[in-house]
Structure 1
Amino acid sequence: MQSKREMPKLRFKFYLAVLPVFLLASAVSGIRHPFYVSICQIDHNSEAKSLEITFKIFTDDLEKVLEAQGTGKLYLGDPREAQEADRYLYNYLKNQVVIVVNGDTA
């Protein structure tokens, strides 16, 4: 029987042996998990009695989503930006973001 001191060493050796195999298998199989980051900041303007909402979104990811919905190339943030880009963005965010204040949908 192994002592309590030897158990952490064996566990470490096990992880040390398994980790490279797992990493290699993941790399070879091509399994990748994409991640998307966006930031939404909501500030309450007490003077105007309103919410001020700011979204920071990677435009390339947003364009892919909108193009998949059939908008065509929008060229967001580019001098070639499509005239209807604001309308598509507004509709997309309106359908994707729900704000609830005191139990009521805003």
Structure 2
Amino acid sequence: MGLLLCKWWMTLWLTAFHPFYASVTEISHDAGKKELQVSCRIFADDLENTLKAQYKTSFDITRPANRKQVEGYIAAYLSQHLAVTLDGKNVPLHFIGYKIEEDAVWSFLEAENVPVPKKVQVKNDVLYERHPTQTNMIHVLVGGERKSTKLDNPKDMAVMGF
């Protein structure tokens, strides 16, 4: 029991002094609507600090005075750091909006008129420039089949076949 308690305290102590940097990107193809739906979960403080540094501005991402401006920052950032290629063709993602859920920002993007892909390539280097230990989880769902992978900085590319 003492060893277990010691390990628990050590884990808690290390977590407090060495934060965990991770994002989750979920990509789903809706065959009926011919849509690609993308959601990206990033810790709010990490995204806010990255956007503040990149755009040399100040704002509160959870309670912005100008939500449209913050949406513009997020959309521009994601367009630079998240890209999807289906069957060798780049798919332009359109930013829909974002919501705050607990300590994270969920950003939503979509692409319309997208046929069922056989190969999905995802480039994701979100937050790599600020966090050398950043990990980006990728989940892709096509035709009911789900595939997942993990990208550890500096690896930024994943390819999945369906």
TM-score range, shorter chain: 0.5 to 0.7
The separation in 2 between residues aligned to 1:81 and 1:40, in whole angstroms, is: 27
Query: What 5-or-longer segments of structure 1 have no aligned partner?
Result: 1-31
Shift of 1:33: 6.2
Shift of 1:73: 2.1
Deviations along 1:22-42, one digit per CA (max 9) or x if unpaired, are xxxxxxxxxx76541110001
The separation in 1 between residues aligned to 2:20 and 2:55, in whole angstroms, is: 23
Shift of 1:70: 2.4
Question: What is the aligned-residue identity percentage?
Answer: 30
The alignment partner of 2:27 has SS state of strand
- CA-based RMSD of the aligned residues comes to 2.1
Matching of residue 97 in structure 1 with residue 67 in structure 2: no
- More strand, by proportion: 2
The alignment partner of 1:99 has SS state of strand
Shift of 1:54: 0.7
The alignment partner of 1:75 has SS state of coil
**Matched residue, 2:37:** 52
- More helix, by proportion: 1
Larger Rg: 1
Residues 76 and 82 in structure 1, CA contact (< 8 A), matched pair in contact too:
no
Query: What 5-or-longer segments of structure 2 have no aligned partner?
Result: 1-16, 92-162
Shift of 1:81: 4.3
The separation in 1 between residues aligned to 2:54 and 2:27, in whole angstroms, is: 27
Structure 1 length-normalised TM: 0.62
Whose relative contact order is higher, 1 or 2, with alpha carbons under 8 Å and at least 6 apart? 2
Amino acid at match of 1:61: D
Matching of residue 82 in structure 1 with residue 66 in structure 2: yes
The alignment partner of 2:55 has SS state of coil
Structure 2 length-normalised TM: 0.42
Total equivalences in the alignment:
76
Shift of 1:103: 1.1
The separation in 2 between residues aligned to 1:51 and 1:71, in whole angstroms, is: 32
Shift of 1:98: 1.0
The separation in 2 between residues aligned to 1:76 and 1:63, in whole angstroms, is: 6
The alignment partner of 1:74 has SS state of coil
